[in-house]
Amino acid sequence: MAIQTFVASTVLTAAQMNALQANDYNQTVSTKTASYVLVAADKGTKVVMNAGATNTTITVNTSLFSAGDTLTILNTSTSGTCTITAGTATVATAGSLALGLNQGGILYFTSAGVSVFQANGVTASASALTLISATTIGTTVASVTVSSAFSSTYDNYLITIAGGVGSALAYLQLQLGSQTSGYYGGAVKVSYSGTVTGAGDSNAAQMSYVGWCSTTAMCAQITVNSPNLAKVTSVFAAPIIDATNSISYNAQDNAATQFTAFTIKPSTGTLTAGTIRVYGYANS
């Protein structure tokens, strides 16, 4: 039951008293299936995000709540991350604002525009590496975009790709946000016979050698530094090892742009199955 306003001489009915008592033991719940902006009526209730594999946000704005107000947030999405996002209000926490499956907590307001998220059982020191999202690759797709991957919660990230295949032998390429130029990087290729060659990206449309795929495998392990800061984003790809070569690749974009999403695509052909996982490195 939503919070009630009573005035002098108000007469409470038995139904109202029962509803108020029930809320103490069985909190009023609203279930969301897409990104949501909190409203004043959410005070004292539980907001449950159930968006399946989709990454979502719950946005907190000012002038909706007062000092002392609380509400509960829970993410029950099967593999999508729900990130509590500061809109016009501020949100502080000692835990994480990126909620995985069955993670949640209490949002407490110290004033109309300032809140603290008290994460249940999640602290900043609980893990140096936290799973943010897991995106399943479809069937014969030319590219896969992961939204809401980067936020102000973490400065640095790890992206892993495993479990799928390509329609042909190809390199995996990375684009940040909607940027299609300004990527610079270098790759060193060492063949198993010992021959060393190199390749480079100069103002390229993508970072070209972050992983690889074949008709039997797909893999990548990519460290991304500062994607959500207004600074140059650097990428370090673990060596790619295929049937004939080992390739190491480092790159950066020169746009000094804040990114929240990225896209993975093969240099040729399509991708099928597998999972793209995004992890955040704890800042402390």
Domain of residue 61 covers 27-119
Helix, strand, coil percentages for the chain (3-state, nearest 5): 5, 50, 45
Mean pLDDT is highest, among 20-24, 126-130, 262-266, for 262-266
- β-pair partners for 243: none
CA–CA dist 131, 98 (Å, integer) = 9
**Confidence band for 124, pLDDT divided at 50, 70 and 90:** very low
Kindly state the tokens that stand for 261.
């999403």
Together in a domain, 104 and 65: yes
Together in a domain, 112 and 143: no
Q: Tell me, what amino acid is at 218?
A: M
Q: What is the pTM of this model?
A: 0.61
Domain count within the chain:
2
Give the per-residue pLDDT at 172.
96
pLDDT at 27 > cutoff 90: no
Q: Of 29-33, 92-96, 158-162, 255-259, where does mean pLDDT reach its minimum?
A: 92-96
Q: Is residue 69 one of the residues assigned to a domain?
A: yes
Give the per-residue pLDDT at 123.
45
**Confidence band for 138, pLDDT divided at 50, 70 and 90:** very high
Q: Is residue 54 one of the residues assigned to a domain?
A: yes
**Confidence band for 25, pLDDT divided at 50, 70 and 90:** low
Give the per-residue pLDDT at 23.
59
Q: Is residue 164 one of the residues assigned to a domain?
A: yes
Together in a domain, 110 and 185: no
Nearest 5°: the CA angle 140, 145, 146 is: 125
Together in a domain, 135 and 109: no
Q: Which of 93, 119, 145 is the last residue of a domain?
A: 119
**Confidence band for 12, pLDDT divided at 50, 70 and 90:** confident
Question: Residue written as tokens 């709540």?
Answer: 65
Give the per-residue pLDDT at 19.
66
Q: Domain of 111: which CATH number?
A: 2.60.120
Mean pLDDT of the chain: 89
Q: Is residue 5 one of the residues assigned to a domain?
A: no
CA–CA dist 29, 74 (Å, integer) = 10
